[in-house]
Structures are given as structure tokens and as C-alpha cells.
Amino acid sequence: EKKLRVQEEQSLTSALIAEGRGLLDAAAAPANALGEALVQLEQHRDELLLWTAQIRRHVDDLVMQMSERRALELVYRAEDHAAELQRLASALDSGLGNVRHVSLNATSAAHVHSNIQSLIEESERLATDALGTVKEASA
């Protein structure tokens, strides 16, 4: 009976060890994949650092060339000129808005004048008709 119990315990232990190895293998696979991904990320980081340095040198070279050719000064002057043109465009737009309001007011005034003129003419016609009616009634 002890021998049977020992065999059962050994069997259970073997099963648990096998299950543990399976779990360990299952856990190791993502860990290995993560390690490989980390290595790739580090390689990409190193490449980006190299590219950053190369781009910085290239920009510095361009700035030096522009300085030597006085192009940098021209770029700054062009930027200032563009800013001035933008300010002028804003001022013109504001002025145009004011002119638009004046134009609308003038158009409105013309319509009001026309309406008043029509009302005066209608009043004169009614007054003439009323005068004619009064003359007929008194005759």
C-alpha cells in the first residue's frame, strides 16, 4: 500500500512537473518575443540617432551656405515682407468691410427715399381725388 501511494505521488509529481514545464514554455515564448522586439527597437533607435545627427549636419551646412550667399538675410527679409503684406491685407479687409457697411447704408437710404417719394406721390393723388370729391359734393 505504501508502494502504491509512492507511485501515485510520483505519478502526480511527474504530471505536475510536466504541466509546470508546459506553463514555463508558454510563458517563455512571449518573453522571448518581447526580447526580440526590444532588440529591434534598440536598433531602430540607434538608426534614428544616426539619422538625426546626419540631418543636423545637413541643416547646419545649408544654413552656412545660405549665410555665405546672403540667402539667409533674403529669407528673413522675405518673411518680414510677407508679414507686412499680411498686415496690409488685414487693413484692406477691414476697410472693405467699412465700405460694405457704407454701401449697404447708402442702398438702404436710396430705398427709403424711393419709398418716401412713392408715398408723397400717392398722398398727392389722394389729396387731388379728395379735393375733386369735395368740389363735386359742394356743387
- Per-residue model confidence as pLDDT tens digits over 49-108: 999 999 999 999 988 887 777 777 888 889 999 999 999 999 988 888 888 877 877 888
Do residues 72 and 63 touch, judged by C-beta distance below 8 A?
yes
Q: How far is CA 123 from CA 5, 109, 115, 136, in A?
A: 127, 21, 12, 20
Q: Return the pLDDT at 44.
A: 93
- pLDDT, position 47: 94
What is this structure's pTM? 0.36
| pLDDT band at residue 136 under the 50/70/90 scheme | confident
